[in-house]
């Protein structure tokens, strides 16, 4: 079936953005130039741009123009998302950089991490997540070696620790806290933003039974992460009467 002009314009720019040929912040041609390029009406161009904006791929700014948006990730608030899988599900290339690895001994523990350590060491990890080569999140993670002794032998240079944990260690309880923060200098450096840039911080604790597994703090540029939660009827609601 032949594509309509609207679908062709939308598809052309969607492909270029998802392949990284157009980077976040790149400006799209003005509507009049697109009208001439595709030989169509301004209404057709506007329809295509609206579809791209609704998909979160472009930002349309009044009097400023149309620009490629930063990649966004959608996550269930109450779930434990795998960033690698989520980015790939959007048709984007996922990238991962291991920044730091340190085994924190009992003597090095901070009081607030005592419950996680449970008397043992903690594996401390810093890493960077990317989408289409663009920094998406900087991550700091602590993993209880007492609860997950096999983590010390895991290949965390090529596999993100969050992905490894989801694949090998089932969790039974999770606590998530979401807040707005200003990027600290070291975070801003990795995210390629200015110090003090508004960011979204996601902190998460997970347990397996009574054993604490991990604590993670992820910092996303404020325009690069989108939290979406969809809820059904609560399991604690009164059950429907049976016949």
Write out the residue range of the structural domain in which residue 53 sits.
Answer: 5-68
Q: What is the model's pLDDT at position 89?
A: 86
23 and 107, same domain (yes or no): no
Q: What is the model's pLDDT at position 6?
A: 86
Tell me, yes or no, whether 152 lies in a domain.
yes
Task: Compute the distance between CA of residue 148 and CA of residue 100 in angstroms, rounded to an integer.
Answer: 19
54 and 87, same domain (yes or no): no
136 and 195, same domain (yes or no): yes
Task: Compute the distance between CA of residue 101 and CA of residue 6 in angstroms, rounded to an integer.
Answer: 49
Q: What is the model's pLDDT at position 228?
A: 62
At 145 the three-state DSSP class reads coil
pTM: 0.65
Tell me, yes or no, whether 166 lies in a domain.
yes
154 and 127, same domain (yes or no): yes
Are residues 196 and 181 in contact, defined by beta-carbon separation less than 8 angstroms? no
162 and 213, same domain (yes or no): yes
Q: What is the model's pLDDT at position 93?
A: 93
CATH label of the domain that carries residue 39:
1.10.10.10
140 and 92, same domain (yes or no): yes
What's the number of domains the chain is made of?
2
> What DSSP line would sit under 54-97, residue for residue?
HTTSEEEETTTEEEEPPP-EEE-TTS---HHHHHHHTT--EEEE
Which segments in the chain show pLDDT lower than 50?
76-77, 233-243
- Nearest Cα residue to 207 out of 163, 169, 233: 169
Residue given tokens 């472009």 in the structure block? 58
41 and 98, same domain (yes or no): no
46 and 125, same domain (yes or no): no
Q: What is the model's pLDDT at position 43?
A: 94
Degrees to nearest 5, angle at CA 137 with 229 and 13: 80
Task: Compute the distance between CA of residue 226 and CA of residue 86 in angstroms, rounded to an integer.
Answer: 12
CATH label of the domain that carries residue 109:
3.40.1410.10
């Amino acid at each position: 079936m032949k594509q309509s002009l609207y679908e062709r314009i939308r598809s052309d720019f969607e492909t270029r953005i998802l392949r990284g040929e157009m980077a976040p912040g790149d400006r799209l041609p003005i509507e009049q130039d697109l009208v001439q390029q595709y030989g169509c009406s301004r209404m057709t161009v506007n329809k295509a741009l609206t579809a791209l904006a609704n998909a979160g791929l472009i930002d349309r700014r009044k009097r400023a123009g149309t620009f490629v948006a930063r990649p966004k990730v959608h996550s269930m608030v109450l779930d434990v998302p795998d960033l690698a899988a989520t980015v790939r599900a959007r048709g984007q290339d996922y990238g991962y950089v291991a920044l730091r690895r340190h085994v924190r001994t009992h003597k090095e523990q901070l009081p607030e991490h005592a419950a996680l350590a449970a008397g043992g060491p903690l594996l401390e990890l810093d890493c960077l997540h990317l989408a289409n080569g663009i920094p998406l999140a900087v991550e700091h993670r602590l993993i209880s070696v007492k609860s997950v002794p096999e983590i010390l032998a895991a290949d965390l240079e090529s596999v993100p620790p969050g992905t490894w944990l989801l694949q090998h260690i089932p969790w039974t309880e999770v606590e998530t806290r979401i807040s707005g923060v200003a990027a600290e200098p070291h975070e801003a450096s990795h995210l390629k933003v200015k110090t003090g840039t508004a960011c979204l911080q996601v902190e998460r604790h997970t347990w397996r039974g009574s054993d604490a597994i991990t604590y993670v703090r992820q910092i996303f540029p404020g325009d690069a992460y989108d939290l979406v939660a969809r809820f059904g009827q609560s399991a604690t609601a009164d059950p429907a009467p049976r016949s």
